[in-house]
Structure 1
């Protein structure tokens, strides 16, 4: 160190300082600015990449939320369709039951009407047979009673007595 102090030259120191400052200025102009610009560009690129990643993350969250929403809507629509199908099925069953009841009632009424008409026809037939039988019996009785003159007079008297009583 002492040797450095003994051999110290002010001119050399001045030129070395001047060259060092010049070198610093040259480095600043040609090396540091491009290096700093590259570092700043790199920093901006990283910030842009982070922003793009954050945007992509938000986009994925939105897409996930939208897909969940669509899935919920699809489930709700499926449930509504199943409910509607059940209601249609129940309505069709109820309508079929009602139609069957109406048809059954109609068939019962037809059967009752048929039975009633057959009953009336049978009663009319029985009445006509009874009337024919009664006329036949009355005819035989009258023939027998009218064959005898005493019986005829007695019958006329009996009838006159019945008429007076009524």
Structure 2
């Protein structure tokens, strides 16, 4: 039995040594053919995920900057539009004031011209009336007195009378 035991133990060590060699050989083959590619694949995957995260963060930052720029541009456009509207209102107000001032000036000029025309017409009418009255007075006086008066004396007398009438009507 002892011999049987020794043989069993020798077989056991032989089997163990064979299994150990097979295990080491299998591990070495796994390391060469499987572990390296799997590790490389895992590392590549890890790098890709890290790059995707970095890219997503950069995209988010770029998008936030773009939103800020667009908001600033929009605010600038609104301010510019408000300025344009204010300028247009101001220009419109100035033009309105100029038109009103010009209309008032034109109306005043027309009024002054009309007053001058009225005064001239009045003077012309008075001069015509003086001449007519002087001629009529001379004719009447000639018939009444039966003699001709000096025309210059008669005209001076009538002019003073008409001036008195003109002053009487003006007051």
| TM-score past 0.5 threshold | yes
Bigger drift between 88-97 and 130-139 goes to 130-139
Task: Kindly indicate whether residue 48 of structure 2 is the aligned counterpart of residue 45 of structure 1.
Answer: yes
Structure showing greater relative contact order (alpha-carbon pairs closer than 8 Å, 6 or more residues apart): 2
- Render the CA deviation track for 1:29-59: whole Å, top value 9, x for unaligned: 1111111111111111111111121121112
TM superposition shift of 1:115:
0.6
Structure 1 equivalent of residue 18 of structure 2? 15
Q: Distance in 1 between matches of 2:128 and 2:51?
A: 112
TM-score relative to the length of structure 1: 0.73
Counterparts of 1:54-93 in structure 2 under 5 Å?
Answer: 54-93=57-96
Structure 1: where are the runs of 5+ without partners?
Answer: 1-5, 145-166
- Match in the other structure for 2:106: 103
Is the counterpart of residue 114 in structure 1 residue 84 in structure 2? Answer: no
- List structure 1 runs of 4+ shifted beyond 6 angstroms: none
After superposition, the Cα gap between the structure-2 partners of 1:23 and 1:141, relative to the gap in structure 1 and judged at 3 Å, is: same
Post-superposition shift, 1:130? 3.9
For structure 2, list consecutive stretches of 5 or more residues without a partner in the other structure.
1-6, 148-171
